[in-house]
Homo-oligomer: A and B are copies of this chain.
Amino acid sequence: MNTSVFAHGPEAQTADVAFLQDFETMSGFGATARGGVDRQAATAADIAQRRWLAGLLEAEGLRVEYDRIGNQFGLLEPTPGAPYVLVGSHMDSQPTAGRFDGAYGVLAAAHAAFRLARRWRASGETPRFNLAVVNWFNEEGSRFVPSMMGSSVYTGVLPLEDALETRDRDGVSVRDALAGTGMTGDGDGPSAACSAEIHIEQGRLLENGGITIGLVTASWAASKYEIVVEGEQAHSGATVMADRRDALFGASLLVAFARRLADEFPGVLHTAVGKLDVYPNSPVVVASRVSLLLDLRTPDEGVLAEADARLAAELDRIRAEAGVDVEARLSHSWGVNPYQPEGVELARRSARDRGHASTEILTVAGHDSINMKERVPTVMLFVPSVEGVSHNEGEHTRDDDMLAGLDVLTDVVARLAAGQLNPEEAA
């Protein structure tokens, strides 16, 4: 088959310019003064951007629909009745985030679909599968926990009702936040035959290696803990120190332990506490309760087991030193989790055919494709992040890397639409 889509010439240049212009427009939604974005799920900026995306998709002849959790789909249906190649990412962001995380992948998916639509119209070719561009709802999880909410509901990992009842810190539920936006539907979304996602690396490996395309082979193993430290309220001045059971002291010991633990496994253990809430959080009250989320991530399952054990032992030590109760619940746990090797090979061929250097890479961060690959054959691609900076307003990916990624993604999606990852009998 011919996978050369706008390989060269003025038409290709026009398509690239169109992508970059749309990327610029897109980055205006929720733009921050320091060059980043703030588009937390179902906020005004997120909704406005989704409305803009719907218009963009419709202008190119795609039909826009939503499922019950607010995932946004742009459907291109050259083959009525066939299942879909789902290709996309998410456009919501952290509170002060970069312009590229997620949003690049959705716009690249849209433009890949636009290019293939033109190509199929021009050639009269009928692909085996239809295309669905997807903008997953609430991947970031900063306003509504958990993250990867939309793809988790779509893939059946998270019950719809649980997701809709999730509340932000002001008590607003997902259901209420989506009500009146016109961005929920009655169905469960298009039926997927296979899927693809492209994303910025959020690390330094591609940049350090001078390589444009990452072929994601697996996700790191991880243990995610929800931890509650319980002490007792007391006057922060008057209460004698020996009587205090300070939940914030206990929590602080835990944060410091987690950071230092990573140093014992250099390069193969990432640890973090990003979210920590203090109650009552008053200047003159010893805290009675601190809740926090602690992550351990590693490409080595043996290291994970060791880190889990070290953490459990430390909790006992902290209970004793701070006189607090500590409850740790393992909320998520997974091993090193591979993508289908056939998808990695397919992507390798696409990169080679399009003339871009590629390398296998693991993903440390979670992505919606991690949910999708449990259901259907899934390809995950990375493009370089300058200096690995991410979840930061200074996040950056160069234009030529974005365009190379779009070029390879378009080729991958063409192959997926042709059924290269789906044996004929499954059709």
Complex contact A243–B388 (CB within 8 A): yes
The answer to the question of A327 belonging to the interface, with a C-beta cut-off of 8 Å to chain B, is no
Whether the pair A285, B94 counts as a contact (CB closer than 8 A) is yes
Nearest first, the 3 closest Cβ-Cβ pairs linking A and B are A236-B272, A252-B255, A202-B238
A residues sitting closer than 8 Å to B (CB atoms) are 94-96, 140-142, 145-147, 201-204, 220, 222, 232-241, 243, 246, 248-249, 251-256, 259, 262-263, 266-267, 269-288, 293, 295, 297, 322, 363-366, 387-393
Chain B: CB-nearest residue to A219: B237
Q: How far is the CB of A394 from chain B (nearest CB, A)?
A: 8
Do residues B259 and A246 form an inter-chain contact, with CB atoms below 8 A? yes
Please tell me if the beta carbons of B259 and A95 are within 8 angstroms of each other in the complex: no
A287 touches which one: B256, B267, B274 (CB < 8 A)?
Answer: B274
User: A365 contacts B237, CB within 8 Å?
Assistant: yes
In chain B, what residue has the closest Cβ to A254? B252
- In Å, the complex CA distance between A295 and B248 comes to 14
- Give Cα A389 to B364, complex, Å: 47
Give Cα A59 to B272, complex, Å: 60
- When the two chains form the complex, which single residue of B284, B322, B390 contacts A239, counting CB atoms closer than 8 Å? B390
Task: Verify B255–A240 contact, CB threshold 8 A.
Answer: no
Q: With contacts A233-B393, A256-B252, A391-B233 known, is A239 near B203, CB below 8 A?
A: yes
Residues from chain B with Cβ under 8 Å of A233 in the complex:
94, 96, 391-393
* 24 intermolecular pairs with C-beta atoms under 8 Å apart: A95-B279, A140-B282, A140-B284, A142-B284, A202-B235, A232-B392, A233-B392, A235-B390, A237-B366, A238-B364, A238-B388, A241-B266, A241-B271, A243-B387, A248-B276, A249-B255, A249-B256, A275-B281, A276-B276, A277-B281, A282-B391, A284-B366, A284-B391, A286-B391
